[in-house]
Each structure stands twice: as structure tokens, then as C-alpha cells.
Structure 1
Amino acid sequence: MFKATTIVAVKDQDRIAIAGDGQVTFGENTIIKSTAKKIRKIYKDSVLIGFAGSVADAFTLSEKFEEKLEQTNGNLKKAAVELASLWRSDKILRRLEALMIAANKDTILIISGNGEVIEPDDGIAAVGSGAMYALAAARALKRNTKLSPEEIVRESLIIASEICVYTNNNIVVESI
């Protein structure tokens, strides 16, 4: 089984940033890739997404989510609810193992295959093996520094990579 990644997102008044590390781990002790890119911009570069979990599953869900965004004219929340519903009810999709963070200039959402669409209260979200480390670091940095969202997500993943064996410090950051 592939254990893959830590994704963290931070929003302030007018910016959103998302970061992901590059590690893909097979089993408990083998790193098979250290430079995977697990975040990207979609829907006219107005939505950021990041995935943790099976890489192939993440690509499938990414394509489905982009289709839902097209169908809803970019309505992030509606597209997320429709994806979660499809993901949960479709015989093939419900077997996919991944978690997704989706964000636009207004909101951050965590989307799961169990049908959950969660909007964090504090504008910070994290998924993946090092999620709790990255989340704690991002909250502390957001509350106690003047760093930008881009700087916070990068520093949060660096901290997570120092603790979580499934997270590395090959970090990719995207923002809108």
C-alpha cells in the first residue's frame, strides 16, 4: 500500500496557499519517489487542489472534481458536495483511497470518500500522514507571526518533514 504525502492549506483575507511534499512511500519502509507533485491549479487557475493517499486514485478524483467545477460554473462548495456524493455512491469510485483539499479565494474544503465536505473554522486545513504536525505548525505560525500563507504552508511542511517519516522536505507551493 502506498502512503503518500502531507498537504496543508492556509487562507488569510485575500490569499490562499497550498503546499504538498514530494514523497511517495511503498509499504512501511521504502521511499519510491521523492519528487511527486500532489497539488495543482484547476478550473481556470482559480481553484487549488491537493491530494493525500493513492496517487492513481488522486488523479481520478482530480479529473472528476474538475468536471464538477465545470458543471457548476466554478461553485466550489456545490462541486465538492457533488463529488463527495458521487465518490461515496459510485461502485468504482468508493474504492478510491484519497483525501482532498480544495480551495479558492473564498474558502478551503476537505473532501473525503465517506461523503464529508468540511470547511475548517480557522482557514487552515491539512490531510495526509503528517497532517496533524503540519496543522499544528500552521496554526502556531498563523497566530504568532506575520508570515504570508505561502510562507506558512512551506514552513509547516518543513516542520512536518522533521517529524513524519512519510513526509519529505521537497515542497511544492501554489497560491492564488
Structure 2
Amino acid sequence: MDSPQLDLPRDLLGWHGTTILCVRRDGQVAMAGDGQVSMGQTVVKNNARKVRRIANGRVLTGFAGATADAFTLLERLEAKLERYPDQLERAAVELAKDWRTDKYLRRLEALLAVADKDRSLLITGQGDVMEPEDGIIGIGSGGNFALAAARALMTVDGLTAEEVARRSMTIAADICVYTNGRFVLEIL
């Protein structure tokens, strides 16, 4: 006899919680991610590295979702960038096509935020490659809090992308229980 399927939200069955923020301002790009990994209501790790550089340091990446799935996608993105050097948008579109159509990749559960000196993109498993008009991307459980804070802070003159990202992540960490204050911040 088959065991019954549990119809529970994904966050109760697996790893949950991330905040990734990408901010673009005055020629500078900053991407920040918190370090908390949670399983259900338990913090399992405080110092995870969810933001990293790829393509010889020319591209910043951040991920939310299943870690192994995200690493698989980041490896594929890096391969696309080797095939299409300095063409982040083309590499992202090619990855999104594969992600949507490949039987194996289709099952991967993650979101990717990627940025180079020219573009900031959000890549999803539904085949979406989106470039926000304001240059700000927020993903993960605290992503909307960080996004809202960043949009508000962008109205303050004199703040760099790094300062906006750092302050926004602090605000998100104060609101979202799945976000901590141990940030990894990368700048282009």
C-alpha cells in the first residue's frame, strides 16, 4: 500500500529562509545575502554563503531555494557564460530555456539573482529572465522587506549601492525571522 502524500507547504518539508538583495546605483552594484539556513522553525546554520562571484569575478550571483539545486544552476550559468563571455543576458536566457525544458532541471527549486557591470537579472524556473527597471532585486523569504527598504533608501542622496544594500539587509533582518544579520556583501 502506498503511503499518503502530505500536502504541506514546502517550507515545512525542507530548507527555508534566505534574503538576497541586489542594488545598482551610480555605476556600483552591490549584492548581499544573509547567512541563516533554517529547517522549519530551527536555525541550522548562521554563516552560509549565498552570494558569490562567478565568471572570473565579473558576475555576482545570489540564490534562494534549495541549495543543491541552486549550485547546479550556478554551474550551468557559469558554463553558459564561458560559451557567451560578457553576455550575461544571453547566458541567462539560455539557462532559463534549459531550466524550463530539461526534464531534470525542471524539478530544481531555486531563484537566482545575477548581476554584472551592466545588468541585474532575476532568473526563474518558469523561464523568466527579468531586469527590474529600478535596478533592485530582492528574493527569498525576506526579499520583499529588503526590496522595500532599498527602494526607500534610494531616495536618500549620497548613499552608495553598498550602503543601501547593507542598511536594507539590516532592516530585513529585523523583520524576517528567516533572515539574520550576518551578511555576505559583494561589490562590482
TM-score for the superposition, normalised by structure 1: 0.97
Structure 1 partner of 2:62: 50
User: In 2, are the aligned partners of 1:4 and 1:55 still within 8 Å (CA)?
Assistant: no
User: In 1, are the aligned partners of 2:112 and 2:124 still within 8 Å (CA)?
Assistant: yes
How many residues end up aligned between the 2 structures? Answer: 175
SS at match of 1:65: helix
User: In 2, are the aligned partners of 1:80 and 1:117 still within 8 Å (CA)?
Assistant: yes
User: In 2, are the aligned partners of 1:4 and 1:54 still within 8 Å (CA)?
Assistant: no
2:84 pairs with 1:87: no
Larger radius of gyration, structure 1 or 2? 2
Structure-to-structure mapping, 1:64-79, within 5 angstroms: 64-79=76-91
% identity of equivalent residues? 53
* 2:138 maps to which of 122, 126, 147: 126
Structure 1 partner of 2:15: 2
Structure-to-structure mapping, 1:19-168, within 5 angstroms: 19-27=32-40, 29-168=41-180
TM-score for the superposition, normalised by structure 2: 0.91
In the TM superposition, what whole-angstrom CA distance separates every residue of 1:5-34 from its partner, at most 9, and x where no partner exists?
Answer: 11000111311010000011112x011111
In the TM superposition, what whole-angstrom CA distance separates every residue of 1:22-48 from its partner, at most 9, and x where no partner exists?
Answer: 011112x01111100001111121110
Q: Which amino acid aligns with 1:26?
A: M
Structure 2 Cα separation of the partners of residues 146 and 110 of structure 1: 27
Structure 2 Cα separation of the partners of residues 13 and 144 of structure 1: 13
Displacement over 6 Å in runs of 4+: none
Give how far 1:140 is off.
0.7
Structure 1 partner of 2:3: none
User: In 1, are the aligned partners of 2:17 and 2:142 still within 8 Å (CA)?
Assistant: no
User: In 1, are the aligned partners of 2:149 and 2:168 still within 8 Å (CA)?
Assistant: yes
Structure 2 Cα separation of the partners of residues 143 and 57 of structure 1: 36
Q: Which amino acid aligns with 1:95?
A: R
Give how far 1:149 is off.
0.7
Provide the alpha-carbon RMSD of the alignment: 0.8
In the TM superposition, what whole-angstrom CA distance separates every residue of 1:122-153 from its partner, at most 9, and x where no partner exists?
Answer: 01111100011000000111112421111111
